[in-house]
Structure 1
């Protein structure tokens, strides 16, 4: 075999590299087109769904006493389903905006962002008597604040939502630095997730069936998309009934 001089490309590899690059560009175009389609559909459907919910609310308030018990039940179900569709469309819009909208990274204190996110769940945390432990100090990173808030909001929200009947509920949040970047984690001692679902839960519209929840199944898909575009990663360690730990990494360039 004739050796290839340093600095020169392999002639046999060139066509394959060209084909791979063409496929990559096609995949990028398809993803962009899909995101645009999702954005337009969810945006256009939002107004009529909001109108439907509003009119149903008016009917309930002005004519509720005339409907009878069965009529009230039907109207209640109509409003609940309209509300669910509204939340789903909002999540689809958020999902489609990732990668389409300028991220605007900035120097952030992760500790402050996490505490702001916890404030949004203060009512649920207090009601369920959840003990939250932040293994401070969390590091300073260079990232888009909105996206970092979305990451922690979905992971902390899931920890709260799937705590179950744990008598001593705990959520732990921390980070570990390494040469390749920083790994954050959100740990809980809730109901846990069977290993057979560990990959499925990161898909669009995927929800655990163990308990009733008003989630749309978009949260972890949004988290994964944000991290994919940032060059990061996310994974879970969990068994059913033994709590769960979600880890996500941000590469050096984001830290």
Structure 2
């Protein structure tokens, strides 16, 4: 008996075999059907799908044979993986390499053998699809061709299996990362909420004492000192506004919502009246195109969203013309869109995405940079969209698209 040599590319071959994760896997009908088909084509009672690892040949499918593996040093397939085409032994008893092989002299009685190598797309031979008989035989050219084609189908199934394995691994990693990210986001939200809440109290104290001190010393301070008091109070107010907005953003992001149909006309009118109370000297044309379509929404978040957009329209109105606000709705098969149009200073196209990020400001030093982040967070909660159409000095058109389900 002559054992097969170890291939020169053995390390790469074993690594490829390991990547397919096929060894010692359970019986699969897909592979058993292929070996049964080969038995019919080649007229042999035994057909094997054999993989050669470091010390053995292991059978993924073993039609007509109960053995699941044999040592590598006696394996016919260990010789076959050195061949590019079908490796055929018409009568092993007359071949000096096999005549005294235990697989020939023992109960298996491997007399005829024909093995087509299982070749990966990288040209590595992992094992064979082999046909075996207990008597001398020989395949026709057509049978050899068909054996080779089916061997290629075995490799195709291996490739598909590997792709599915990679896909499952990526899905698991994605789910793990998603869960980790969700947990980190929750921790961050809790941190922002706690810090924002804890800082509001001392800010109220600072604002109160500074205001009182400024009034008590009004007759003893210079104009420059009074300006400094004013700057302190302004910055305290900005900080308080920022913390308030951060708290609002935190509540929006971590809260669960229940959506019900709302006649949003009255909600928008109430939002506008609240803003007018704070801006009594405002000269504005407010156009509400009635009737507005009913929207499936969470009322508190909807009002918060509208408040932010109307407040921005007031804050960034043009000094060249009186403010004009137009609001209407449009309905499609899947959603209802609320449009809020103004004729203010507008936003350049390069800033359209940036303004929805936290702390991004339309005008440097104006606002907290959180209002539009809240709007986007509200729409995300509704599984909806917010879109902007705007040019510098051409006003803004915000579309809030609410799904119907």
TM-score greater than 0.5 by the shorter chain: yes
SS in 2 for 1:98: helix
1:16 corresponds in structure 2 to 170
2:398 to 238, 246, 253: 246
SS in 1 for 2:328: strand
Superposed displacement of residue 103, structure 1:
3.1
1:222 corresponds in structure 2 to 374
Distance 2:213 2:342 in 1: 43
Distance 2:276 2:288 in 1: 15
- Indicate if the aligned counterparts of 2:345 and 2:393 stay in contact, CA closer than 8 A: yes
Counterparts in 2 of 1:171 and 1:21: CA distance versus 1, 3 Å: same
Distance 1:199 1:120 in 2: 29
2:283 equivalent to 1:132: no
2:55 corresponds in structure 1 to none
- Alignment deviations for residues 178-198 of structure 1 (CA, whole Å, 9 cap, x no partner): 122111111111111111111
2:375 equivalent to 1:232: no
2:298 equivalent to 1:144: yes
1:52 corresponds in structure 2 to 206
- Alignment deviations for residues 208-229 of structure 1 (CA, whole Å, 9 cap, x no partner): 227x74x211100011111112
1:78 to 204, 229, 232: 232
- Indicate if the aligned counterparts of 2:339 and 2:399 stay in contact, CA closer than 8 A: yes
- Indicate if the aligned counterparts of 1:124 and 1:160 stay in contact, CA closer than 8 A: no
Distance 1:252 1:42 in 2: 35
Distance 1:249 1:224 in 2: 11
Counterparts in 2 of 1:52 and 1:189: CA distance versus 1, 3 Å: same
Superposed displacement of residue 128, structure 1:
3.3
Counterparts in 2 of 1:80 and 1:126: CA distance versus 1, 3 Å: closer
1:43 corresponds in structure 2 to 197
| Number of equivalences | 245
2:272 corresponds in structure 1 to 118
SS in 2 for 1:103: coil
- Alignment deviations for residues 36-89 of structure 1 (CA, whole Å, 9 cap, x no partner): 111111111111111000100111122221222222121111111111111111
TM-score, reference length from structure 2? 0.57
Counterparts in 2 of 1:167 and 1:70: CA distance versus 1, 3 Å: closer
Distance 2:231 2:201 in 1: 20
TM-score, reference length from structure 1? 0.89
Superposed displacement of residue 118, structure 1:
0.7
Specify every segment of 5 or more residues in structure 1 that has no aligned partner in the other structure, as ranges: 3-8
- Alignment deviations for residues 1-20 of structure 1 (CA, whole Å, 9 cap, x no partner): 55xxxxxx945422221111
- Indicate if the aligned counterparts of 1:166 and 1:190 stay in contact, CA closer than 8 A: no
Distance 1:96 1:200 in 2: 20
2:111 corresponds in structure 1 to none
Distance 2:290 2:237 in 1: 38
Distance 2:264 2:282 in 1: 25
SS in 2 for 1:207: coil
Mean CA deviation greater in 113-122 or 128-137 = 128-137
Distance 1:247 1:125 in 2: 25
Select the structure with the greater relative contact order (CA < 8 A; seq sep ≥ 6): 1
Counterparts in 2 of 1:79 and 1:12: CA distance versus 1, 3 Å: closer
1:96 to 236, 250, 253: 250
Specify every segment of 5 or more residues in structure 2 that has no aligned partner in the other structure, as ranges: 1-155, 158-162
- Indicate if the aligned counterparts of 2:296 and 2:403 stay in contact, CA closer than 8 A: no
2:181 to 27, 47, 71: 27
- Indicate if the aligned counterparts of 1:166 and 1:189 stay in contact, CA closer than 8 A: no
2:39 corresponds in structure 1 to none
